[in-house]
A and B are shown apart, each in its own frame.
Chain A
Amino acid sequence: MKHQSQNNKPVMLFGRQGRAWTFFAGIATVLAMLSTSGFASTVSAPTPGFLNPNQAVPAPSVQVAVPKGQDGCLLCHKYPGLGRYDKDARNRIVKRVFYVNEDTHNASYHGRFNCSDCHEGVDKIPHTDAKKVDCGKTCHLNEPSSGKKFSHKAIVDDLEKSAHGAKGAGAENQSDLPACRDCHTNKPYLLNLQQQMKSKASMQICHQCHEDKAWITRFLSHIDYRLSSRRPSSEVVRLCSKCHANPSMMARHKLDVVVGFQDTYHGKAILYGDEEVANCLNCHAPYALGFSPHKITAHKMKESPVNADNKRETCAQAGCHASATNEFATGSKAHASQLKAVLETKGGNAGTDAVLEDEAFQTMVLHWINLFYQILIAGVVLGLGGHRLLDLYATYRDSKKGGH
């Protein structure tokens, strides 16, 4: 929103030239929307629904048709203040931002799509008829290599069958399962992609034939992102930890809580910013070995890269522990888990009892080593320190007597 004057044309408030009408239309629409949710009439009192998550939104009394097309949505959604506080499934208060920056959207991977291509059924205000975005739907866009309509459905299907999907996971507590957006946190909409670009020179080359700068940015970053910069390891760890380090959620699914990764060499190296060592995905879904994060399966499954039979190959992948032996790869876990929780929740399972006994023994040995050193250290420090203090006292006493 710049106040600017160009080419001697009249000063335009809010937005691009020739679109000043959208501002007034926007104001009108917002007022219309607010009045239907009871905001305008009760400004001084706590307003139900709006900014007040404790009260339910009353059913709207007036339906207003939504203007069609991209610009129609931006009538309202271009205002940065658009948003409200809401409650999520676990009754926690969350802030929901409905603001869309047009430039950022145009530069993003989905910049060629209209809002309604993904956000289906948004015909009323307020949008009580909006359907959840389905990333697996078929787009109005042709996939350039095959000419067919493009879709993320293949990936959505993979996810469904994986340990994170409705078919691959247990039937209970399916609301915990991650959706696309839990991992794909829509960074592209927030980052300045120009900044991410590896080479400004390649942009210039594209520009010789292709005109649309936003399109070039999109196209180049689409390829650039896949060739080089994925998420930094620390972000991968944080993302996986959101669920896998959450004790109550892991207990609901009878899974180990990942507690020890941060203490491993891999974990510390990642904290320092080393991108060469393994993060979660390098072992649980190594791209180099043909796995994908969308196909992660439980370690008991034969096809899992962390299955006992496949672990050696996973450790020995290019750039890692090339000379890894079976003993190195299969022994105990690469990161500590809450063994007690495992024993309690899986206790009856005959197939894993031997493994658990092994783990219990190993945990005990490590515990005894730590205890031995704790006692030794306490003894040595107190003994030597005590001796030293006693010596100082004796020296002081002697000097008082007149020394020797």
Chain B
Amino acid sequence: MGGHGNNERAFVRLTKSERIQHVILFVSTGLLILTGFMLMGEVWAIKLFGSAGKSIFYWRGIIHRVAAVAVTAVCFYHLYYVLFKTDGKSWIRAMLPRLKDGVDAYQNVMYMLGKRDERPKMDRFTYLEKLEYFSVYFGMFIVISTGTMMWTQSYWPKFYLDVADALHLGEATLAALAIIVGHIFTVHYNPHVYPMNKAFIDGNISETMMKEEHSLWYERIIAEEASKSANTAHATEGGHSNA
């Protein structure tokens, strides 16, 4: 585990568009969590800012709104992406929950408990990845709608705003913790990938990782390539360059 050979074959895990979407998503989400929870600070913590507090508070509001616009834009773009773009359509098709995900979850837990000999063979997206992905849909729906309400607060009854505030805070807390426990640990502190899974930078996944974590997907790609090259073998000699 750990460092894989440099000459190893790489497969495309994230396209350039997906990587850009991800960068916008995590930078703005980070800023939103930071500037948002600054409103929940205890009195003594806020007092630490001293006389700088006033301008910090001003910029806190500006940054929260700019990041909110960015994250909303990237969410709507992503909807367009998965509905109309070729790469997006294949992404969402692979992402849709199937019965097999439940079976995978059960078998994987059984394996981890030592009651099965092998991990289940998983496809392009594991059950945990699907759960995370659709949690973002749920969370974004909540925070974007309640955030918009609070931004246009003068037009809403105060009680609706109180509800919006409670939902916004609850969802933000859930998202922040889920990102830390569910996502950061998986892509950074997993011994397979430590210090980080570089797929979000170069978009690549190594052959070893493919076999370990997405063996079903790996086998299918290899099989497709084999049938393709069998068809074209007569015409041209040569290779499969995928990276």
Contacts and interface: CB of A to CB of B under 8 A. Distances in A.
B51 A273 contact: yes
Interface string B94-116: 00000000000000010111100
Given A274-B54, A327-B156, A380-B174, 15 more contacts: A271-B43, A321-B154, A322-B154, A324-B154, A327-B157, A328-B153, A328-B156, A331-B158, A331-B159, A362-B162, A369-B170, A377-B174, A380-B182, A387-B109, A393-B112
Interface in A380-401: 380-381, 384-385, 387-388, 390-395, 397, 399
A5 to B, nearest CB: 41
Interface in B139-184: 153-163, 166-167, 169-171, 173-174, 177-178, 181-182
B128 A387 contact: yes
A381 B136 CA distance: 15
Contacts of A372: 170
Contacts of A329: 158
A30 interface: no
B10 to A, nearest CB: 21
Interface string B172-216: 011001100110011000111000000000000000000000000
A333 B157 CA distance: 11
Contacts of A333: 158
Nearest to A363: B162
Interface string A348-377: 000000000000001001100110110011
B153 A268 contact: no
Chief secondary structure at chain A's binding surface? helix
A391 B154 contact: no
A195 to B, nearest CB: 16
Contacts, number: 119
Contacts of B174: 373, 376-377, 380
A380 to B, nearest CB: 5
A86 B201 CA distance: 71
A268 B192 CA distance: 43
A275 B159 CA distance: 26
Contacts of B39: 265, 268
B47 interface: yes
Chief secondary structure at chain B's binding surface? helix
A195 B20 CA distance: 54
Nearest to A263: B40
Which 3 pairs show the lowest CB-CB distances between chains A and B? A331-B158, A373-B170, A272-B57
Contacts of A390: 109, 112-113
Contacts of A319: none
A272 B53 contact: yes
A323 B152 CA distance: 10
A395 B112 CA distance: 8
B170 A370 contact: yes
B49 interface: yes
B41 interface: yes
A115 interface: no
Contacts of B112: 390-391, 393-394
B162 A366 contact: yes
A355 to B, nearest CB: 12
B109 to A, nearest CB: 7
B63 to A, nearest CB: 14
Contacts of A393: 112
Contacts of A324: 154
B84 interface: no
Contacts of B60: 272
Given A332-B159, A380-B178, A391-B112, A272 B49 contact: yes
Contacts of B113: 390
Interface in A18-36: none
A373 B158 contact: no
B154 A268 contact: no
Given A268-B41, A328-B153, A392-B191, A273 B173 contact: no
B159 A377 contact: no
A388 B109 CA distance: 11
Nearest to B60: A272
A269 interface: yes
B158 A274 contact: no
B166 to A, nearest CB: 4
B47 A397 contact: no
A268 B153 CA distance: 17
A403 interface: yes
B221 interface: no
A384 B178 contact: yes
Nearest to A367: B166
B56 interface: yes
A368 to B, nearest CB: 9
B46 interface: yes
A104 interface: no
A380 B177 contact: yes
B76 interface: no
A31 B10 CA distance: 97
B1 interface: yes
A124 B90 CA distance: 97
A273 B48 CA distance: 12
B58 A274 contact: yes
Contacts of A369: 163, 166-167, 170
Nearest to B166: A369
